[in-house]
Structure 1
Amino acid sequence: MTSNATAPTQTTSALPVSLNGVGRAFPGAPRELERLVLRDVELKIAPGEIVALLGPSGCGKSTLLRQISGLDRPTSGSLTIDGTRIAAADQRCAVAFQEPRLLPWRTVARNIELGLPRGTDRAAGRVRVGELLELVQLTHAADLKPRQISGGMAQRVSLARALARGPGVLLLDEPFGALDALTRLTMQDLLVDIHRAEPATIVLVTHDVDEALALADRIVLLGTRFDRPGATISRILEVPGTRPRDRASTVLARLRAQLLDALGVPSHHGR
């Protein structure tokens, strides 16, 4: 898929993200039941980079995403965006989840409006929403309600809403996980177009090895050791080649086998 949309005008430069010894423990009662989810996570993410977080269910991928957004606080270590420590919900970030979470009584266009910065001029807001509708190829659906659109279209609205204020960091938590296989591939291609038009730094949580290979510059594997609680980074793989990538390439096939082996999944298995 190739988008012919012009790049929207209200954008923020992509920002670097730094995780320094990040850990997260959830308290228990008694204290001995405290659950350590993340341990000593060290990661530098360059401006405009797409990084995929991959690992088994429950290893802390979504928790780490919440740390970056400022929606949750680490119990050890620190996180910064563009050198500034993240201390609360950070307006330089925007998050899109697996569920689009659209308001059913608002139209597509008015759901996207919700992402605009507070105090945006009405006329400027209309222009921005129009640009985003074009970018996600939903201009024709601007006046429809969520019940009138497909799951893939709803996820496009969610992405447009997240982009509305031109975030420097875009956080995606399994954004295509609930979609059918064909729609998922289409949405992956659309995300490549979106990133070209609005090159924010992207952190993507996914369980899909092929999705990570298609989209990411680097794939970060989170895992645990049997002798130590808490997930940490077990491996980082660089994915060569520019996007869009040939999903059938031998290079990606070799990387796929490496990733599946690292995850403990026989490489002859499907997704």
Structure 2
Amino acid sequence: MSSTTRTRGATATPALPVALHGVGRDFDGARGEEPRIVLRDVELTIKPGEIVALLGPSGCGKSTLLRQISGLDRPTRGTLTIDGTRVAPADQRSAVAFQEPRLLPWRTVARNIELGLPRGLDREAGRARVAELLALVQLEHAAQLKPRAISGGMAQRVSLARALARGPGVLLLDEPFGALDALTRLTMQDLLIDIHRTEPATIVLVTHDVDEALMLADRVVLLGTRFDRPGATISRVLEVPGERPRDRASTVLARLRAQLLDGLGVPSHHGR
């Protein structure tokens, strides 16, 4: 069924391009110290419908960059645009799902998803959209359950559905599977591929997991720092060939994994 004939079609934004030009972010230093430079000179263009994974060591600014794309934070320098226009504060063209699902415990699964619906949507269309999303994340059976009655993987599915509810043109995922056990994480990766096929937003994914980045992304963007310049910038961009879902045992992915681990300063024989 096409996006123009589903309930989503009336309210959805098509997948949108994202561009970052010279983006930098400083944070005020403590007790009169110099500002701390977190990001420096980030240049990146993301095509509509593309999945891009941001990879890098802890504290290098991946989540900060994601928040800037969403409009939840503002750059100190440079410009960020979605579809050619500057990102607005809490920009409604994008939606974010975090590592912590942040569900309201007094609302059911269905009513948590409702929180993401666009303003002004009539009740019947809203119910249809929630039902569609419950089916998409395979939670029809859990619609009336409260968050305390569902697993961590199910809670993350609710978070994804809520982020998708208004049909954003850009979906921003901040370590969405980082707190899940290994098997559930693999299942969620496969589910995200299915979701993207049905709801083809542009996706920017922050992850620490090299294999996850290679399984999901069209391109992997490696953030890193130089010893002579404070602040992280893009040190490498790798194209990931092959249609999704990909063979986890692929020799091509194994070569890319070694390159990414080398870029992270991790010997490839150490694995993830």
> What's the offset of the Cα at 1:29?
4.3
Aligned to 2:213: 212
1: CA distance between counterparts of 2:96 and 2:67?
9
Matches within 5 A, 1:97-246: 97-246=98-247
Aligned to 2:7: 9
Structure 1 vs Structure 2 CA RMSD: 1.2
1: CA distance between counterparts of 2:124 and 2:190?
31
1: CA distance between counterparts of 2:131 and 2:52?
29
1: CA distance between counterparts of 2:191 and 2:161?
11
> What's the offset of the Cα at 1:270?
2.7
Aligned to 1:42: 43
Answer yes or no: is the 8 Å Cα contact 1:23–1:76 preserved in 2: yes
Answer yes or no: is the 8 Å Cα contact 1:69–1:95 preserved in 2: yes
User: Could you say what secondary structure the match of 2:238 adopts?
Assistant: strand
2: CA distance between counterparts of 1:177 and 1:161?
18
Normalised by the length of structure 1, the TM-score is 0.96
Change (3 A) 1:18 1:151: same
1: CA distance between counterparts of 2:30 and 2:195?
45
User: Could you say what secondary structure the match of 1:66 adopts?
Assistant: helix
The percentage of aligned residue pairs carrying the same residue is 86
2: CA distance between counterparts of 1:199 and 1:100?
22
CA displacement 1:129-150 (0-9 Å, x = unmatched) = 0000000000010000000000
2: CA distance between counterparts of 1:249 and 1:207?
20
2: CA distance between counterparts of 1:31 and 1:44?
36
1: CA distance between counterparts of 2:70 and 2:32?
27
User: Could you say what secondary structure the match of 1:53 adopts?
Assistant: strand
Unpaired stretches in structure 2, ≥5 consecutive residues: none
CA displacement 1:126-184 (0-9 Å, x = unmatched) = 00000000000000100000000000000000000000000000000000000000000
> What's the offset of the Cα at 1:6?
8.3
User: Could you say what secondary structure the match of 2:185 adopts?
Assistant: helix
> What's the offset of the Cα at 1:86?
1.1
Displaced runs of 4 or more, over 6 A: none
> What's the offset of the Cα at 1:31?
4.9
> What's the offset of the Cα at 1:87?
3.1
Unpaired stretches in structure 1, ≥5 consecutive residues: none
Partner amino acid, structure 1, of 2:152? G
> What's the offset of the Cα at 1:33?
2.5
1: CA distance between counterparts of 2:134 and 2:43?
37
Number of positions where the alignment pairs a residue of Structure 1 with one of Structure 2: 267
Aligned to 1:266: 267
